[in-house]
Structure 1
Amino acid sequence: MSQNTPLHADPLVWGHGSQVFEVFLEPTCPFSVRAFNKFSDLLQLVGEEKMTLKIRLQSQPWHMYSGVIVRYILAASTLPAGKEAAKQVMQAVADHREEFEFTDHSHGPNMDVTPNQLIDRLAQYSGVDAREAFKAAGLQNEIKWHSKYSRQNGIHVSPTFMINGLVQPDIGSGDDIADWAKRILA
Structure 2
Amino acid sequence: MSLQPSLRPLIILGNRNAPHTLDVFLDYVCPFSKKMAGKLDSIVKPLISNGGKYDGKIKVIFRLQTQPWHAMSTITHEAGLAALHASSEHFWPYSLALFEHQDEYFDIPTQDLTIRQVRENLAKLAATVLPSNTIEKFKDLLALKSTPNGGNAVTDDLKYNIKFSRQNGIHVSPSVLLDGLFQSQVSSGWEEKEWSEFLGKAITV
The residue that corresponds to 1:43 in the other structure is 45
| Further displaced range: 89-98 or 130-139 | 130-139
User: For the Cα contact (< 8 Å) 2:22–2:58, is it kept in 1?
Assistant: yes
How many angstroms apart in 2 are the aligned matches of 1:141 and 1:109? 28
Q: Compute the displacement of 1:138 (Å).
A: 4.3
Alignment of 1:28 with 2:29, yes or no, is yes
The residue that corresponds to 1:176 in the other structure is 191
2:91 pairs, out of 64, 82, 86, with 86
Over the residues paired in the alignment, what is the CA RMSD in angstroms? Answer: 1.9
Query: Which consecutive residues of structure 2, in runs of 5 or more, have no partner in the other structure?
Result: 50-54, 145-151
Q: Compute the displacement of 1:46 (Å).
A: 3.2
| Further displaced range: 18-27 or 135-144 | 135-144
Which amino acid letter does the alignment assign opposite residue 22 of structure 2? F
> What percent identity do the matched residue pairs reach?
30
Query: Which consecutive residues of structure 1, in runs of 5 or more, have no partner in the other structure?
Result: 1-6, 103-107
User: For the Cα contact (< 8 Å) 2:14–2:48, is it kept in 1?
Assistant: no
How many angstroms apart in 2 are the aligned matches of 1:96 and 1:44? 24
Q: Compute the displacement of 1:161 (Å).
A: 0.8
Which amino acid letter does the alignment assign opposite residue 94 of structure 1? F
TM-score, normalisation: structure 1: 0.84
User: For the Cα contact (< 8 Å) 2:35–2:189, is it kept in 1?
Assistant: yes
Greater C-alpha radius of gyration: 2
Which amino acid letter does the alignment assign opposite residue 116 of structure 2? N
| Further displaced range: 9-18 or 162-171 | 9-18
How many angstroms apart in 2 are the aligned matches of 1:30 and 1:21? 20
Alignment of 1:54 with 2:61, yes or no, is yes
How many angstroms apart in 2 are the aligned matches of 1:180 and 1:174? 10
Relative contact order, CA 8 A, sep 6+: which one is greater? 1
Q: Compute the displacement of 1:125 (Å).
A: 2.0
How many angstroms apart in 1 are the aligned matches of 2:90 and 2:74? 18
**Larger fraction in helix:** 2
Q: Compute the displacement of 1:10 (Å).
A: 4.4
TM-score, normalisation: structure 2: 0.77
User: For the Cα contact (< 8 Å) 1:12–1:55, is it kept in 2?
Assistant: yes
Could you list the structure 1 runs, at least 4 aligned residues long, displaced by more than 6 angstroms after superposition. none
Evaluate the alpha carbon distance shift between residue 184 and residue 19 of structure 1 in structure 2; reply closer, same or farther with a 3 A threshold: farther
The residue that corresponds to 1:4 in the other structure is none
Q: Compute the displacement of 1:122 (Å).
A: 1.4
